[in-house]
Amino acid sequence: MATGKPVLGSPARLMLLAAMIAATPLLERCAAVPYEPPVAATVQCERDDGAFAQRLVMPNVPPGLMCLEEVDGVNNALFNRVIFDAAGYKVGHFRRVETKMPGDVVAVVRLSPSLRTISMLTDHLRFDPTRGVIIADLTNREIDLIPPGFPYG
């Protein structure tokens, strides 16, 4: 009694089965190694960096600017905070801090006018705890020139 169906199933099902059999040793090896959390990011900036304040164009530079790495729970505490450029104009919103492969700590920023997401080194950003905003030492034009997904600003 021939039904016309392949005995072992469809070719796609056979390929999936072969892939699962081939990946089993790799998955077993990954499961055997205990999880090690990523190494904490190192502080790249200095809190009392006079050079950062000199790069700002705004008339009144706020005192007590903090590095983003100094904020406890930076990703939750500063999520969606407004970011101002060196002249004091709003450029976007903070999303999170990430560590890239070479060890560079970057901030992921969602730009307001263009709705693009970029990442820039946290050396270019400081948190103003009195106003609750983040200030960049780059101009709006310099920030707009950073391509999306570009890991360094």
Instruction: Establish if 97 belongs to a structural domain.
Output: yes
* Among 61, 56, 116, residue whose Cα is nearest residue 91: 116
For the chain, helix (H) and strand (E) counts, in that order, are: 4, 6
Question: For 23-59, what is each residue's pLDDT tens digit?
Answer: 677 666 656 656 454 444 444 566 656 788 888 888 8
State the pLDDT at residue 17: 77
Report d(CA 88, CA 123) in Å as an integer. 17
Mean pLDDT of 59-75: 87
Calculate the average pLDDT of the chain.
79
CATH of the domain at 113: 2.30.30.240
Instruction: Establish if 26 belongs to a structural domain.
Output: no
State the pLDDT at residue 39: 45
The number of CA neighbours under 13 Å toward the Cβ of 33 is 8
Report d(CA 57, CA 9) in Å as an integer. 69
Q: Widest CA span of the chain, in angstroms? A: 89
State the pLDDT at residue 1: 55
Instruction: Establish if 92 belongs to a structural domain.
Output: yes
**Whether pTM exceeds 0.85:** no
CA distances from 24 to 10, 34, 63, 75 (A): 22, 18, 57, 36
State the pLDDT at residue 148: 83
Report d(CA 83, CA 105) in Å as an integer. 17
On the question of pLDDT at 64 being above 70, the answer is: yes
On the question of pLDDT at 153 being above 60, the answer is: no
Instruction: Establish if 112 belongs to a structural domain.
Output: yes
Report d(CA 14, CA 20) in Å as an integer. 10
Instruction: Establish if 126 belongs to a structural domain.
Output: yes
Instruction: Establish if 115 belongs to a structural domain.
Output: yes
Residue of higher predicted confidence among 132 and 30: 132
